[in-house]
Amino acid sequence: MSNQPDIFKAIITEVTQVTARIKAFKLEYGSRSYHFKPGQWIDLYAPIEGKNIGGYTITSAIQEKGHITLAVRESNTHPVTQFLHQIEAGQEVMITEGQGKFFLKEEYMNSPLVFIAGGIGVTPLLSMFRSVDKTKTSLKLFYSVSYEEDILFREELAPYSVFTATKGHSPSWQGETTRMNLAMLKKYGTDLGSHFFICGPRPMIDSMVTELKEAGVSADHIHFEKWW
């Protein structure tokens, strides 16, 4: 029996510039049964020569059917990402179902949740955020960016979020300005009995995991994924 994920034809029906460097994509795959868990990524096959496979995280909720969404930061070196940033709606691609071991398990859906994101590492947490019934659990997102304008889907996330912009922000900025740490989590009354999901640069993840463990958070309540 093959362990390879099924491959689907998809049409990119929407392309939206959401920040200066990031575009959001809606991919419609039709009526076939499609499976992923919140936080997982896909392989996307582009109709180009040479390296034509790119891995991208799903940002949509598991409850949405017939399509998935992605948020992709521009790249000067990755051919598939460059392709995506040049196309318009109507482009056909091939995609796999969800892959990866970093995801929100169903049994955690009604537990207190804390999401900690650094930069584009917010994307798997977006799918988790959108999949959770916020009337049934407490949820907080701590989201660190270099510059205020880098925040993805700010209006949607703001009611549940603490934003920190570490390098630059507008004069009207009311968020934090320091790097993510345990003191910031405590400042906003974070329940250390929560499940913590962390994604972003390795130094941020390493420091947060260390601080959480030193504060007494159980290792099985700390979930993380390192991309770079």
Q: How much is the average pLDDT of 68-81?
A: 97
In a domain, 2, yes or no: no
pLDDT of the residue at 136: 87
In this structure, the answer to whether residues 118 and 177 fall within a common structural domain is yes
Q: Is the pTM of this model over 0.85?
A: yes
Decide if pLDDT at 32 tops 70.
Answer: yes
In this structure, the answer to whether residues 46 and 85 fall within a common structural domain is yes
Q: How much is the average pLDDT of 158-162?
A: 97
Q: C-alpha angle with apex 179: 176 to 182, nearest 5 degrees?
A: 90
pLDDT of the residue at 2: 53
In the chain, what percentage of residues exceed pLDDT 70? 98
In the chain, what percentage of residues exceed pLDDT 90? 92
pLDDT of the residue at 189: 95
State the CATH number of the domain containing residue 59.
2.40.30.10
In this structure, the answer to whether residues 60 and 166 fall within a common structural domain is no
Task: Work out the widest C-alpha separation in the chain, in whole angstroms.
Answer: 59
In this structure, the answer to whether residues 75 and 142 fall within a common structural domain is no
Q: How much is the average pLDDT of 57-73?
A: 97
pLDDT of the residue at 223: 97
In this structure, the answer to whether residues 114 and 68 fall within a common structural domain is no
Q: What is the mean pLDDT of the chain?
A: 95
In this structure, the answer to whether residues 170 and 71 fall within a common structural domain is no
State the CATH number of the domain containing residue 200.
3.40.50.80
Q: How many CA atoms lie within 13 A of 203 on its CB side?
A: 4
pLDDT of the residue at 227: 63
Tell me the CA distances in angstroms from 178 to 33, 46, 144, 200, 224, one per residue in order: 44, 39, 9, 16, 21
Decide if pLDDT at 9 tops 80.
Answer: yes
In a domain, 1, yes or no: no
Domain count, the chain: 2
Residues 65, 36 contacting (CB under 8 angstroms): no
In this structure, the answer to whether residues 122 and 177 fall within a common structural domain is yes
In this structure, the answer to whether residues 76 and 129 fall within a common structural domain is no
pLDDT of the residue at 186: 96
DSSP-assigned beta bridge partners for residue 91: 12
In this structure, the answer to whether residues 169 and 191 fall within a common structural domain is yes
User: Which residue type occupies 164?
Assistant: T
* Residues 90-144: tens digit of each pLDDT: 999 999 999 999 999 999 998 999 999 999 999 999 999 999 999 889 999 999 9
DSSP letter for each residue of the chain: ---SPPEEEEEEEEEEE-SSSEEEEEEE-TTS-----TT-EEEEE-SSSS--EEEEEB-S-TT--SEEEEEEE--SS-HHHHHHTT--TTEEEEEE--B-S----GGGTTS-EEEEEEGGGHHHHHHHHHHS-TTSS-EEEEEEEEEGGG-SSHHHHGGGEEEEEEEE--TT--SB-SPP-HHHHHHTT--TTSEEEEEE-HHHHHHHHHHHHHTT--GGGEEEEE--
What's the token pair of residue 109?
A: 């859906």
In a domain, 101, yes or no: no
Query: How far, in whole angstroms, is CA 181 from its chain's centroid?
Result: 20
The pLDDT confidence band at residue 1, using thresholds 50, 70 and 90, is very low
In a domain, 148, yes or no: yes
Decide if pLDDT at 51 tops 50.
Answer: yes
- Residue 201's domain comprises 106-226
In this structure, the answer to whether residues 81 and 167 fall within a common structural domain is no
In a domain, 17, yes or no: yes
Distance CA 125, CA 116 (A): 8
